């Protein structure tokens, strides 16, 4: 576990309410409750105390994190915690730049929809009728089911290449056309149409690279200046850029990415020429400004970038509970839109509600920052009374500890060891090879367990020889065999 010196950055944009002094104290108290109230997806019924942000950062080897909270349609507060680079002295502030990773997609989608409203792009036309320097090669598409901008933005165009690993410092960078065709120095496969467009949802960063080409050809501008002029500057996102590689003048303002063990990524970060899919450098406050713009456009309060009608299309769920560039849900009459991101050494998360004007953005510079971001957002949800992202309260099974001796021992999964240990009436699991710290398991029955950090659940199944195997419930059940 690495040691962190965590200092709090300055708060930004405290609400301008009728009684500023009272409001400021109220907000400071909320911040304190969030900082000490991080929560996983599960909680023990009647025991809702949370974890401290500094403790979770240390446990997850995440050197730095930055947070912005939206309340009543404004940025109520923003703070930075920890270090821009492990072992260094530079503090995370609210102006520290992080890689937004896949949260680049909804920002790019917003600009694409603006081009549609200006008549420069069509949502439902075959993209090959709009592309000039490159055409989508023949594949599963047909005249009756073509690749369209709407399907690309919805991740239902049938295109390949889910994500990108970026390029380490010193590696040659491909052009966009080389990326699309998978030609060296591109390190990703060609973007092709593998399934019939519109038939299924399949996440595709490759599809957003086609969108990037569509946008640059339609506008006649390189992608970064196009995004600056269309979205970033109009929304006041002054600490954001799609420039790749990152300009040297911004290096000192940027966080370094880190591995799951907390070590800096070689060269500090990777470069992503896949700008629409993964290329945005920004801050939580700037992404909060984007989220507020979507909220305001959806209600008709402001239409700086696109109209209320076009925003409604963006927030209409199509395939995969995904709209146009955003995951979209409906929770207790509240529409929620969100997106996460993962670039090498960075994890990010954005969540916002259209009708209540609430939301949050969390950006981290660690590979295990997704768990941290989710825990922070659940802490925010608890303090601000969101209708979503609340921990599920579970009732503990009494007397389950009597069986713990049967479960203690080592288990093998894909050649790696998972250890289960007990301490009196408590049960713990750890797996160094999987990057899993010692975590306590809590029983809902004599054989079924959950933990407080994530949604993974565990159960123990008795075999004919009297020994127990462990079943780990992720997206699908995984069986870990007891080591004799």
Beta-carbon contacts of 6 under 8 Å, excluding residues fewer than 6 positions away, are 53, 54, 57, 81, 82
pLDDT of residue 258: 98
Task: Count CA atoms within 13 Å of residue 392 on its CB side.
Answer: 11
Cα–Cα distances (Å) from 179 to 116, 191, 267, 273, 379, in that order, read 25, 8, 22, 9, 40
pLDDT digits (tens, 9 = 90+) for 177-191: 999 999 999 999 999
Share the mean pLDDT of the chain. Answer: 92
pLDDT above 80: residue 437: no
The mean per-residue pLDDT over the stretch 308-316 comes to 97
pLDDT above 90: residue 156: yes
pLDDT of residue 435: 66
| Residue 333: pLDDT band with limits 50, 70, 90 | confident
> Hey, how many other C-beta atoms are within 10 angstroms of the C-beta on 448?
17
The mean per-residue pLDDT over the stretch 404-421 comes to 93
pLDDT above 70: residue 18: no
pLDDT of residue 11: 29
pLDDT greater at residue 20 or residue 272: 272
What is the helix (H) or strand (E) element at residue 360, kind and residue range? strand 359-364
The mean per-residue pLDDT over the stretch 410-438 comes to 89
The mean per-residue pLDDT over the stretch 238-265 comes to 98
> Max alpha carbon distance in the chain (Å)?
71
The CATH architecture annotation of domain 400-482 reads Beta Barrel (2.40)
> Hey, how many other C-beta atoms are within 10 angstroms of the C-beta on 29?
11
pLDDT digits (tens, 9 = 90+) for 91-136: 999 999 999 999 999 999 999 999 999 999 999 999 999 999 999 9
The mean per-residue pLDDT over the stretch 400-426 comes to 94
Tokens of 350: 């954005």
pLDDT of residue 212: 98
What is the three-class DSSP state of 40?
coil
The mean per-residue pLDDT over the stretch 388-417 comes to 93
pLDDT greater at residue 464 or residue 307: 307
The C-alpha atoms of residue 307 and residue 117 are separated, in whole angstroms, by 8
pLDDT of residue 23: 53
**DSSP sequence for 2-69:** ------B---------SSHHHHHHHHHHHHHHHHT-B--SEEETTB---B-HHHHHHHTT--EEEEEE
Residue range(s) occupied by CATH 3.40.710.10 in the chain? 99-333
Distance between alpha carbon 26 and the CA centroid of its chain, in Å? 29
pLDDT of residue 331: 83
pLDDT above 50: residue 378: yes
pLDDT digits (tens, 9 = 90+) for 35-85: 999 998 988 988 867 899 999 999 999 999 999 999 999 999 999 999 999
| Residue 332: pLDDT band with limits 50, 70, 90 | confident
pLDDT of residue 129: 98
| Residue 466: pLDDT band with limits 50, 70, 90 | confident
pLDDT greater at residue 464 or residue 70: 70
Nearest to 296 by CA among 241, 377, 353: 353
pLDDT above 90: residue 168: yes
- Give the CA dihedral 201, 458, 479, 57, nearest 10 degrees: 70
Residue range(s) occupied by CATH 2.40.128 in the chain? 400-482
pLDDT of residue 394: 93
The mean per-residue pLDDT over the stretch 368-381 comes to 96
The mean per-residue pLDDT over the stretch 371-378 comes to 96
pTM of the predicted model as reported, rounded to 2 decimal places: 0.88
pLDDT above 50: residue 328: yes
In this structure, of 19-33, 103-117, 144-158, 173-187, the range with the lowest mean pLDDT score is 19-33
Identify the CATH assignment for 99-333 out of 2.40.10.340, 3.90.1150.10, 3.40.710.10, 3.10.50.40. 3.40.710.10
pLDDT above 80: residue 20: no
pLDDT above 80: residue 21: no
pLDDT above 50: residue 9: no
The mean per-residue pLDDT over the stretch 136-153 comes to 98
pLDDT above 70: residue 4: no
The mean per-residue pLDDT over the stretch 153-163 comes to 98
pLDDT above 50: residue 429: yes
């Amino acid at each position: 576990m690495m040691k962190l010196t965590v200092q709090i950055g300055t708060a930004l944009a405290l609400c301008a309410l009728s009684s500023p002094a009272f409001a400021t104290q109220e907000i400071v108290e909320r911040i304190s409750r969030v900082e000490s109230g991080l929560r996983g997806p599960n909680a023990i019924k009647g025991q809702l105390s949370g974890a401290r942000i500094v403790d979770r950062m240390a446990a997850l080897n995440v050197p730095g994190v930055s947070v912005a909270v939206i309340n009543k349609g404004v940025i109520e507060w923003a703070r930075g915690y920890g270090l821009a680079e492990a072992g260094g002295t530079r503090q995370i502030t609210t102006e520290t730049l992080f890689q937004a990773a896949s949260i680049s997609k909804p920002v790019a989608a917003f600009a694409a929809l603006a081009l549609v409203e200006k008549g420069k792009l069509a949502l439902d036309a075959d993209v090959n009728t709009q592309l000039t320097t490159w055409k989508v090669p023949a594949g599963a598409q047909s005249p009756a089911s073509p690749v369209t901008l709407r399907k690309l933005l919805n991740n239902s165009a049938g295109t390949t290449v889910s994500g990108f690993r970026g390029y380490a410092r010193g590696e040659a960078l491909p052009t966009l056309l080389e990326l699309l065709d998978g030609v060296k120095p591109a390190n990703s496969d060609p973007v092709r149409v593998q399934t019939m467009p519109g038939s299924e949802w399949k996440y595709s960063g490759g599809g957003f690279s086609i969108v990037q080409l569509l946008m640059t050809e339609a506008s006649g501008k390189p992608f970064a200046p196009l995004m600056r002029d269309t979205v970033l500057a109009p929304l006041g996102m002054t600490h954001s850029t799609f420039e790749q590689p990152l300009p040297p003048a911004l290096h000192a303002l940027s966080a370094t990415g880190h591995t799951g063990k907390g070590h800096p990524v070689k060269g500090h970060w990777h470069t992503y020429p896949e700008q629409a899919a993964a290329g945005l450098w920004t801050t939580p406050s700037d992404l909060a400004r984007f989220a507020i713009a979507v909220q305001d456009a959806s209600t008709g309060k402001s239409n700086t970038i696109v109209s209320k009608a076009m925003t409604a299309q963006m927030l209409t769920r199509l395939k995969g509970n995904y709209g146009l560039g955003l995951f979209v849900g409906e929770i207790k009459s509240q529409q929620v839109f969100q997106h996460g991101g993962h670039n090498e050494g960075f994890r990010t998360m954005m969540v916002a509600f259209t009708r209540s004007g609430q939301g949050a953005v969390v950006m981290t510079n660690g590979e295990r920052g997704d768990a941290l971001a989710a825990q922070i957002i659940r802490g925010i949800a608890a303090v601000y009374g969101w209708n979503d992202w609340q921990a599920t309260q579970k009732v503990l099974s009494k007397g389950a500890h009597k069986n713990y001796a049967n479960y203690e021992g080592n288990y093998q999964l894909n050649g790696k060891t998972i250890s289960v240990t007990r301490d009196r009436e408590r049960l713990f699991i750890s797996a160094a090879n999987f990057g899993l710290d010692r975590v306590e398991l809590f029983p809902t029955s004599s054989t079924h367990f959950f933990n407080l950090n994530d949604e993974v659940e565990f159960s123990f199944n008795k075999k004919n020889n009297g020994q127990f195997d462990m079943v780990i419930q992720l997206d699908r059940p995984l069986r870990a065999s007891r080591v004799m």
